[in-house]
Structure 1
Amino acid sequence: MNLSILYRGPLASCNYDCPYCPFAKRRDSRAELRADREALARFADWVDRNPDGDRISVLFTPWGEGLTRSWYRQTLTRLSHLPHVDRVAIQTNLACRLDWVADADRDTLALWATYHPGQVRRDAFLGRCATLRDLGVRFSVGIVGQPEHLAEARALRAALPDDVYLWVNAADGHRYEPAEEADWTAIDPLFGYSVRPHESAGRACRAGETVISVRGDGQVRRCHFVDEPLGNLYDGSYRAALRPRPCPNRLCDCHIGYVHLKTLPLYDVFAGGVLERIPVRGVTWGVPRRALAAS
């Protein structure tokens, strides 16, 4: 089986304090950081053992910032060299040292990097992107579509190489008027997928079949947004629960959820880069023409 795993351990602290993020201002205690490190090591050992003989891809989706912690950098490096791991990626603000990347298998490693205006200078962020590019690391860049960030997003798009995809996440709670949506769509042609929640109740989804969410204690859910447990990763009890299943939620409005809906064409759009949010090469920053028509 080709199994994609979204892993989220107990880490909740971040070096940024973005006002639109409810988790940014938290600080983990030493005990909490130790627990996160131990949970991550246990997960990495399981991936290394690969008891079911799967082809495995992993996206780390921490509530906090993982790459400022040495154990995440070490784990990404370690997993990138495993022959049965096709992709290992992480969501990150990129505010970290990057020398560790040279030790990773850059055919397997990928980064999902988010730019946060007000937290980091644009030139500093772009410098880190240039370093990744020089090192041959696959990465996408994104920004939250806060109205006050539009000028920064335009400047970022102008400064990035044309083949680096810049995605835009719709800001929670903000209603985009047609002209405003058009402004953001000019930056990210796939913005329409983010700006409107997707009807998902009863729709076929890969989550719970070939995609799972794993928490630090090994509890397996079909995705981050469905709380019903399928079993535990470490005793193998989750395995018998894997099967095609419809989504129980009325709507899905987060990319890491709706990208797996079988009713959307996004596995074709992001073929080879689903976890790291990198589209296949196409007419506009990697977005294929058929996807633009579908949106």
Structure 2
Amino acid sequence: MNARYHVLYRGPLSSCNYGCTYCPFAKRDETYAQLEGDRESLSRFLGWIERQTSRRFGVLFTPWGEALVRTWYQEALERLSWMPHVDKAAIQTNLSCRLNWLDRCQADRIALWSTFHPTETTLAKFCRRVEQVAAKGVRISVGCVGLKENVTLIEELRATLPAEIYVWVNAYKRQIDYYDAMDIARLQAVDPHFHLNNVRHASLGQGCHAGETSFTVDGNGDLRRCHFVDRVIGNIADPTWEEALQVRACPNQSCGCHIGYVHMKRLDLYPLYGDGLLERIPAVSPGELRTIPLPARKASCRD
């Protein structure tokens, strides 16, 4: 089994139980038929992964909205954790779901990328849930959107959690020059890699692992190189799907979201994240990371 792929799955699910003002999916509901469609799409994807026994996979669910309040996503992660050819299954979540389903998983093959939403839950409640996950032996990263009004809470989040739990900050890039020097210093003190997220990386014509060893799959089974390049390059229902994966240069002017730029070859971030690439957990200490030139691109991005 030589081929190893990072697969980002995003089905049609687009609802959330939280009401964050900056999110278009806040407090959005779906019909029974829509939810059943999402369940069926996920089932097809899992069946495809299950059959690909001659390849190795890491799978990251990047849903619009919150998926872990749906039992079929809990069951999907459990199922993936027991597939011998799946090294890791991870998901982005607000951590509002029940956690007992984790007990049915292979803990060392599951990871959670969890986001703290200060308007929707308390710091104390969120941190208790993070520590409950960690106590089950499940790897977890924790973070928050770096809105200015949240900086003090983000610092408290870092101070409350054990040092071994990585706390990341997603820079708010919808407004140009949003941060002053003091804001940046405070957020950099929380997240040693904040500077990587606080710019848009020039990417036009640059090499990227996306579309080569990393790719996205949607609810129809369509393959794209990443979430930020819309052109379909294949479909998992096609027995020759692997032929769609090849070396490609990025067609976008810039890339500012972690799940995109982490795959840029110029930035060489794979050694930094190592086995924690899917769940956004650095494998090396901040002092071991070499200095990376970061030419800024002033543009908006939904992180």
* TM-score, length of structure 1 as denominator length: 0.95
Displacement of 1:278: 0.6
Contact residue 214 and residue 220 of structure 1 kept, 8 A: yes
Is 2:238 the partner of 1:235?
Answer: yes
Contact residue 265 and residue 291 of structure 1 kept, 8 A: no
In the other structure, the counterpart of 2:15 is: 13
What are the within-5 Å matches in structure 2 for residues 24-35 of structure 1?
A: 24-35=26-37
In the other structure, the counterpart of 2:271 is: 268
Is 2:152 the partner of 1:151?
Answer: yes
Contact residue 189 and residue 292 of structure 1 kept, 8 A: no
Which letter maps to 1:3?
A: Y
Displacement of 1:182: 1.2
Is 2:226 the partner of 1:212?
Answer: no
Which letter maps to 1:291?
A: L
Contact residue 17 and residue 28 of structure 2 kept, 8 A: no
Q: 1: distance between equivalents of 2:74 and 2:290?
A: 35
Percent of pairs identical after alignment?
A: 48
Which letter maps to 1:221?
A: R
Contact residue 187 and residue 194 of structure 2 kept, 8 A: yes
Q: 2: distance between equivalents of 1:195 and 1:217?
A: 33
Displacement of 1:25: 3.1
Displacement of 1:196: 0.6
Aligned Cα root-mean-square deviation (Å): 1.2
Contact residue 170 and residue 197 of structure 2 kept, 8 A: yes
Q: 2: distance between equivalents of 1:264 and 1:49?
A: 33
Contact residue 272 and residue 284 of structure 2 kept, 8 A: no
In the other structure, the counterpart of 2:164 is: 163
Task: Rate the CA distance shift 1:31–1:172 in 2: closer, same or farther, 3 A.
Answer: farther
In the other structure, the counterpart of 2:193 is: 190
Q: Secondary structure at the match of 2:48?
A: helix
In the other structure, the counterpart of 2:301 is: none
1:22 to 18, 24, 48: 24
Q: Secondary structure at the match of 1:117?
A: coil
Q: 1: distance between equivalents of 2:289 and 2:200?
A: 17
Deviations 1:191-237 (A, max 9, x none): 11111100000111000000011000000000000011111011234
Displacement of 1:172: 3.3
In the other structure, the counterpart of 1:200 is: 203
Displacement of 1:90: 0.2
Q: 1: distance between equivalents of 2:239 and 2:23?
A: 34
Structure 2: 5+ residue stretches without partners: 294-303
Larger deviation: 21-30 or 243-252? 21-30
In the other structure, the counterpart of 2:132 is: 131
In the other structure, the counterpart of 2:255 is: 252
Contact residue 56 and residue 84 of structure 1 kept, 8 A: yes
In the other structure, the counterpart of 1:54 is: 55
In the other structure, the counterpart of 1:111 is: 112
Q: Secondary structure at the match of 2:163?
A: coil
Structure 1: 5+ residue stretches without partners: none
Count of residues in correspondence between the two structures = 289
Deviations 1:14-42 (A, max 9, x none): 00010111222321111110000000011
What are the within-5 Å matches in structure 2 for residues 47-86 of structure 1?
A: 47-50=49-52, 53-86=54-87
Deviations 1:153-204 (A, max 9, x none): 0110000100110000011313222221111111111111111100000111
Deviations 1:249-268 (A, max 9, x none): 00001000000000013111
Find runs of 4+ consecutive structure 1 residues off by over 2 angstroms.
Answer: 292-295
